[in-house]
């Protein structure tokens, strides 16, 4: 009789542990799901927020150099500048991002900067990373361009005299 009670208590304890584990795992799963819903996705941040910021731009400067040099525009090399409204709008339309595994988590400094200005005020400083991703100074990390977008941005830069190799892998400045 005593062994039957012990066995039942043991079975009850195992069942209680199992139920508690299932409940805990469900709570964790629900918590992760809610966090994912409430946290802005990087592709949304770039596709929506970056586009809102650069929508007012009336000039684009493409500069080459370290971030510190680019911040001081008198030091950074200006590759070209455009102020044609239609071309700026076209470049903005070409910027489309997608969430995907990066091409290796590059930690380079991003030497090719696409700077967006409204009059003479810098509204966004973005850098092209290996012709495949954009780094925006307002958000940590890089965001992958769609394949089509990367190709179009690379073509736009080469139309303005930059070699394809320079666009995808700019040399380290002296």
pLDDT for 67-96, tens place per residue?
655 555 556 788 999 999 999 999 999 999
pTM comes to: 0.69
Residues 4-40 have pLDDT tens digits of 666 676 677 778 788 888 888 777 777 765 655 444 4
Inter-residue long-range contacts of 73-82, CB under 8 Å, 24+ positions, other chains counted: 76/113, 77/173, 79/112, 79/160, 79/161, 79/162, 80/160, 80/161, 82/160
pLDDT for the residue numbered 60: 96
- 8-state DSSP, 145: B
For residues 65 and 3, give the distance between their C-alpha atoms in angstroms, rounded to a whole number. 79
CA quadruple 100, 104, 108, 114: dihedral, nearest 10:
-30
């Amino acid at each position: 009789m005593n062994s039957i009670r012990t066995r039942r208590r043991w079975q009850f304890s195992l069942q209680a542990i199992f139920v508690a584990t299932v409940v805990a795992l469900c709570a964790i799963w629900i918590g992760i799901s809610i966090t994912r819903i409430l946290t802005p996705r990087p592709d949304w941040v770039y596709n929506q927020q970056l586009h809102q910021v650069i929508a007012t731009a009336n000039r684009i400067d493409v500069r080459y150099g370290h971030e510190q040099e680019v911040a001081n525009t008198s030091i950074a090399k200006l590759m070209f500048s455009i102020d044609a409204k239609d071309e700026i709008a076209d470049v903005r339309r070409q910027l489309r991002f997608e969430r995907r595994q990066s091409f290796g988590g590059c930690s380079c400094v991003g030497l090719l900067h696409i700077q967006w200005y409204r009059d003479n005020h810098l509204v966004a400083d973005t850098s092209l990373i290996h012709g495949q991703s954009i780094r925006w100074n307002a958000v940590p990390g890089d965001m992958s361009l769609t394949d089509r977008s990367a190709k179009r941005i690379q073509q736009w830069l080469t139309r303005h005299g930059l070699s394809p190799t320079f666009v995808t892998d700019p040399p380290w400045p002296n």
